[in-house]
Amino acid sequence: MSGAVSEITVEFCLTQRQEVLAALVETLGLARAGVLAYSWKRAVNDPLPIFSHLLVARREGTPCAAAAAFRRPASASGRVVTVHVGEAHRRQGIGSHLLRRLADELAQDRIERQVASVMAEHADAMAFLGANGFSEFERALSMIWNEAPSIVGEHAVPCMLYEGGQPQVDREIADLFNRCFGKDPVVGALSPQDVADQVRGFGSWYMLGRDPRTGKLVGLAECQDSGYFCSLAVAREFWGTGLAHHLVRLATARYLALGRTEIYGMARRTYAASIRLLESLGWKRAGEEVFYAAPTRP
């Protein structure tokens, strides 16, 4: 253990009082920009639906680094992890030490895999993950929408806004999501509780489409108040009906009503149809996101 690492203490911080977590977020500058910043800001009020693990490193009592695993599953038996080190404490081995401690915590909970993503232009972050046993396994396009609003129009499938609170609907959302993404290498299978946690922790909401003949849920657009467009899922029997376009338009209109004029998301390069759909609706490519993974036990 290096001298810098030997000077720090690491503690489990998930259930800390609000003012303690707020001080952590402020000290490490975790609420500055982007999707992760939005997550940290919401975690100050209620960290439990957002994080499953949160470790904080302190030097002389002051936070110098934090590592967290998000509660939502990622890939097969995995969790998305993130590490933040204060600027004055970088390149001293603290981030690597904290990441190893987080992996130990995940392994004890029988979570087998850690997933992390960085923008391709951040060579230092990519090098950090590589040096800590992570290997690249997938790439995606970062997409952004800031066009003038388009006419939503009508569709044969009735759609509605859902903002949580109905366990049966949470189950239906999880079932459709898992049918559509069951073999996906990045996302993990959702439980109804995962859906409820997303609504509670991330301010998520959904546009849902139901088969008018059966009432069965056949389409969803998952969105966050932050402006992050999380996912789009349509049952195979409704492919080619325009339902996916309709759900994206409805979600865009909802964002505009909330005052969001810029929306962002990702589309993996292997999902060419999704890229074509978004670009046909005015989305633009804004960069490339690289996904890395590592086992929690080497």
Straight-line distance from the first to the last Cα atom of the chain, in angstroms, rounded to the nearest whole number: 19
Q: What residue has token string 């003038």?
A: 148
Q: Does residue 268 lie in a domain region?
A: no
Q: Are residues 96 and 155 in the same domain?
A: no
User: Is the pLDDT confidence value at 175 over 90?
Assistant: yes
The answer for residues whose C-beta is within 8 angstroms of residue 193's C-beta and 6 or more apart is 170
Q: Are residues 154 and 232 in the same domain?
A: yes
Q: Are 221 and 265 spatial neighbours (Cβ–Cβ below 8 Å)? A: no
Given this model, what pLDDT does residue 236 score?
95
In this prediction, what percent of the chain has a pLDDT beyond 90?
71
Q: Are residues 104 and 166 in the same domain?
A: no
The answer for residues whose C-beta is within 8 angstroms of residue 189's C-beta and 6 or more apart is 73, 174, 178, 181, 182
Q: Does residue 161 lie in a domain region?
A: yes
Quick one: how many helices (H) and strands (E) in the chain? 9, 12
Q: Quick count: other Cβ atoms within 10 Å of Cβ 176? A: 21
- How far apart (Å, rounded) are the C-alpha atoms in residues 78 and 67? 16
Domain CATH for 52: 3.40.630.30
What secondary structure does DSSP assign to 120-141, as a single string? TT-HHHHHHHHHTT-EEEEEEE
Number of folded domains that form the chain: 2
Confidence of residue 32 (pLDDT cuts 50, 70, 90): confident
Q: Are residues 159 and 254 in the same domain?
A: yes
Q: Are residues 75 and 180 in the same domain?
A: no
Q: Does residue 204 lie in a domain region?
A: yes
C-beta contacts of 154-157 below 8 A and 24+ residues apart: 155/209, 155/241, 155/242, 155/243, 155/246, 156/212, 156/241, 157/209, 157/210, 157/211, 157/212, 157/218, 157/219, 157/238, 157/241, 157/243, 157/246
Q: Are residues 100 and 156 in the same domain?
A: no
Confidence of residue 8 (pLDDT cuts 50, 70, 90): confident
pTM, two decimals, is 0.91
Q: Does residue 131 lie in a domain region?
A: no
**What b-and-e string marks burial along 75-108, b requiring 16 or more CB atoms within 10 Å of the CB?**
beebbbbbbbbbeebeebbbbbbbbebbbebbee
Q: Are residues 240 and 169 in the same domain?
A: yes
What secondary structure does DSSP assign to 188-199, as a single string? -PPPHHHHHHHH
Single out the residue in 83, 111, 139 at which a domain terminates.
111
Confidence of residue 23 (pLDDT cuts 50, 70, 90): confident
Q: Are residues 223 and 174 in the same domain?
A: yes
Q: Are residues 85 and 39 in the same domain?
A: yes
Q: Are residues 154 and 107 in the same domain?
A: no
Mean confidence (pLDDT) of the chain:
92
Confidence of residue 33 (pLDDT cuts 50, 70, 90): low
Digit-coded pLDDT (tens) for 224-279: 999 999 999 999 999 999 999 999 999 999 999 999 989 999 998 888 999 999 99
Q: Does residue 133 lie in a domain region?
A: no
The answer for residues whose C-beta is within 8 angstroms of residue 94's C-beta and 6 or more apart is 4, 5, 8, 57, 64, 65, 85
What average pLDDT does the segment 66-80 reach?
93
User: Is the pLDDT confidence value at 17 over 80?
Assistant: no
Per the DSSP assignment, residues forming a β-bridge with 81 are 69
Q: Does residue 125 lie in a domain region?
A: no
- How far apart (Å, rounded) are the C-alpha atoms in residues 171 and 167? 6
Q: Does residue 292 lie in a domain region?
A: no
Digit-coded pLDDT (tens) for 102-113: 999 999 999 999
Q: Does residue 42 lie in a domain region?
A: yes
Digit-coded pLDDT (tens) for 103-158: 999 999 999 999 999 999 999 999 999 999 999 999 999 999 998 877 888 999 99
Secondary structure element (H or E) that encloses residue 142, with its range:
strand 135-145
* Higher per-residue confidence, 28 vs 215: 215
What average pLDDT does the segment 165-187 reach?
94
| Domain coverage including residue 24 | 3-111
Q: Are residues 199 and 247 in the same domain?
A: yes
